[in-house]
């Protein structure tokens, strides 16, 4: 009569240990991605990161619609050190930026954003704080050339330095910025992109202070003005 072979205990529990380890690692990952199970959507995650002062746009080298080389969202000079002669003049960076993410071939959302930013640019021109707020339309499409940026700028009357239409010098740097900002841009297979974004109110060092829906440009501008007034009051109240 045949006797069944006994399976070693270690062999029996090995798969269960592996499964438990995978579950633990998955739980840790979910806990981290959802900020302690408090954010289950990308918008909620951004809100939590903003509240924790953890959402930041890293410094990035870009060329604007005139081919001028600049560094955005970095402390110190507004121009990349060692920049070429066509670089923008050295000057104080804006205290705040309102940033949107575009690609110049976009036939829908980006066109609406251009019209909204055109209204904001006119308000900034008429406001005594005009030099303290900068508008940035940042392209995530590596195909966008300076000519493409200038075409977009001309369509909506974007004038530097009030309104910079810019693209990253390095596509990898742009990908890193999008990842850190929780902005998703996925090729749609038809030459365009499916993307989120919103209007980001960002300080000169890249900290994101607020994100507004694309059609809430007036609220974004009001928030920027209120934040500048708060900063001015805080400086004036110091002994």
| Structural domain boundaries in the chain | 11-51, 60-236
User: Tens-of-pLDDT digits for all 239 residues of the chain?
Assistant: 555 555 555 555 555 454 444 443 433 333 333 334 333 355 666 677 676 777 899 999 999 999 999 999 975 444 444 444 344 444 456 789 999 999 999 877 777 888 899 999 999 988 876 678 999 999 999 999 999 999 999 999 999 999 999 999 999 999 999 998 888 878 778 877 777 778 999 999 999 999 998 889 999 999 999 999 888 888 775 54
**Structure pTM?**
0.73
- Residue 18 tokens read as 């592996």
pLDDT at 72: 94
**CATH class of the 60-236 domain in this structure:** alpha beta
- 60-109 pLDDT, tens digit each: 999 999 999 999 997 544 444 444 434 444 445 678 999 999 999 987 77
- SS3 of residue 128 by DSSP: coil
Q: Is the peptide bond before 161 cis (omega within 30 degrees of 0)?
A: yes
What is the C-alpha to C-alpha distance for residues 182 and 176, in angstroms, rounded to an integer? 10
Kindly list the distances between the CA atom of residue 41 and the CA atoms of 6, 44, 155, 214, in Å, as whole numbers in the listed order: 49, 5, 35, 18
Report the C-alpha gap between 113 and 103 in whole angstroms. 11
Distance CA 230, CA 239 (A): 16
pLDDT at res. 157 = 94
Query: Cα 97 from chain centroid?
Result: 11
- The answer to whether residues 195 and 101 touch, using CB atoms and an 8 Å cutoff, is yes
Sign of the alpha-carbon dihedral angle for 159, 57, 193, 211: negative
What is the rounded distance in angstroms from the CA atom of residue 32 to the CA atom of residue 24? 12
């Amino acid at each position: 009569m045949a006797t069944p072979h006994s399976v070693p205990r270690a062999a029996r529990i090995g798969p269960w240990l592996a499964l438990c380890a995978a579950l633990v690692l998955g739980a840790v990952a979910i806990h981290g991605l959802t900020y302690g199970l408090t954010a289950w959507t990308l918008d909620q995650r951004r809100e939590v990161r903003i509240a924790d002062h953890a959402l930041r746009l890293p410094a990035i080298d870009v060329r604007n619609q005139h081919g001028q080389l600049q560094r955005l969202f970095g402390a110190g000079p507004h121009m990349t050190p060692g920049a070429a002669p066509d670089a923008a003049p050295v000057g104080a960076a804006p205290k705040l930026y309102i940033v949107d993410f575009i690609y110049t071939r976009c036939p829908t959302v980006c066109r609406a954003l251009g019209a909204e930013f055109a209204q904001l640019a006119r308000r900034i021109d008429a406001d005594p704080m005009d030099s303290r707020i900068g508008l940035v339309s940042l392209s995530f499409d590596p195909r966008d050339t300076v000519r493409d940026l200038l075409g977009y700028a001309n369509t909506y009357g974007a004038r530097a330095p009030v309104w910079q239409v810019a693209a990253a010098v390095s596509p990898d740097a742009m990908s890193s910025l999008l990842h850190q900002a929780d902005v998703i841009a996925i090729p749609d297979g038809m030459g365009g992109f499916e993307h989120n974004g919103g209007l980001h109110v960002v300080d000169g060092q890249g900290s994101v202070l607020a994100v507004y829906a694309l059609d809430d440009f007036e609220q974004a501008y009001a928030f920027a003005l209120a934040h500048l007034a708060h900063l001015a009051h805080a400086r004036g109240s110091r002994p």
